[in-house]
Structure 1
Amino acid sequence: MSEKQMKECEGSGSSGRMLFVRGYNLVSDLLHCVLGILLLAACAAQIVNAAPQLLELFSAETGMQVTARLVDKVLFVMMILEVGHTVLISYKEHVIRPEPFLVVGIIASIRRILALTILVVEFHMDEKIFRMAMIETGVLSILIIILVTAIILLRKRSNTGVRLNRYDGDAC
């Protein structure tokens, strides 16, 4: 809300409403900050949790499972960071952009494809389970293509964000 709009509202006798709006915006900003801190803490916890697996990779001959768990954790941290980036954008610009959510979908799909690949390689499955895993991999691959296409189309457009419903003082 601009200073001019605030003065107009204050002059119209709606100081209680202005106080509420300022309080609401302050609490909303505070909650965005708390959410961002919690997401960063979750990332840090996942990284600390992954450290022993990284050491295990260097210390002995390990199978594909240790590598897969490590890659899984790295991709999970990337997803959390991307959600955190989305929170930061909505805090700074008061806009929700769709691209970060699409990126999280791409990372999650890649993560699942890698997990399926490890399952197929490590555990020799019967033909029915193998076929189902390949169908899921194919569907996820198509999903990745769709999500990447959506990102490309959104980037070609200008201003793809959705304004958050925050009171901006238009109606005193």
Structure 2
Amino acid sequence: MNKRAREWVSVGITWVQDVIYVALGILLTLACAVLLLHGGVNLVGALGRDLDLQVIVQLLDRILLAMMIVELLYTVKVSFRDHLLVPEPFLLVALIAAIRRILVITAEFGAQAPSGDEQFRHVMSELGLLTVLILVLVGSVVILRRRDSAEAPR
């Protein structure tokens, strides 16, 4: 394949990539809007009756999911603009997902009637692993930011 043909193929692939990024951006934006709208409707509906822990946990769950979608949308934007894949938004999505899981576990466990020691140990083990994961993810974000600030032109 000659150089001109390679450039033409490269331009074509870049164009297809941009179209896909635009489609992903639109879908993520719509998904986030629907998620927030649905959460708002549920909250307004719950205000008419007693607010219980389950409604608040569902709202927090939707808000955190929306934050994850926004981080993915940021990744799509950067990828579209710079044709570069950056790791920090993925780390933030994982961090939000771990926090979201901790909220769900604690809410579910707190709402249940006391059960055996086995379930308690299982929940505590999962919370411990999630805590370690969160510390590793936060450490990774800090390292990336320090590296980026050290590499920045002065």
Quick check: TM above 0.5? Answer: yes
Matches within 5 A, 1:1-172: 14-126=3-115, 127-158=117-148
SS in 2 for 1:103: helix
In 1, the alpha carbon distance for the partners of 2:29 and 2:52 equals 30
CA-based RMSD of the aligned residues comes to 1.5
In 2, the alpha carbon distance for the partners of 1:57 and 1:131 equals 33
Based on CA coordinates, which of the two structures has the bigger radius of gyration?
1
Higher relative contact order (CA 8 A, sep 6+): 1
Instruction: Tell me the number of residue pairs that the alignment of Structure 1 and Structure 2 aligns.
Output: 147
Note the C-alpha offset of 1:90.
1.0
- Specify every segment of 5 or more residues in structure 2 that has no aligned partner in the other structure, as ranges: 150-154
TM-score, with structure 1 as normaliser:
0.80
Note the C-alpha offset of 1:49.
1.7
SS in 2 for 1:97: coil
* Cα displacement string for residues 130-162 of structure 1 (whole angstroms, at most 9, x for unaligned residues): 221111111101110110000001111138xxx
Note the C-alpha offset of 1:87.
0.9
* Cα displacement string for residues 30-69 of structure 1 (whole angstroms, at most 9, x for unaligned residues): 1111111111111112112212221134222121001001
Alpha-carbon contact 1:56-1:62 (below 8 Å) kept: no
* Cα displacement string for residues 8-37 of structure 1 (whole angstroms, at most 9, x for unaligned residues): xxxxx7433332222221111111111111
TM-score, with structure 2 as normaliser:
0.88
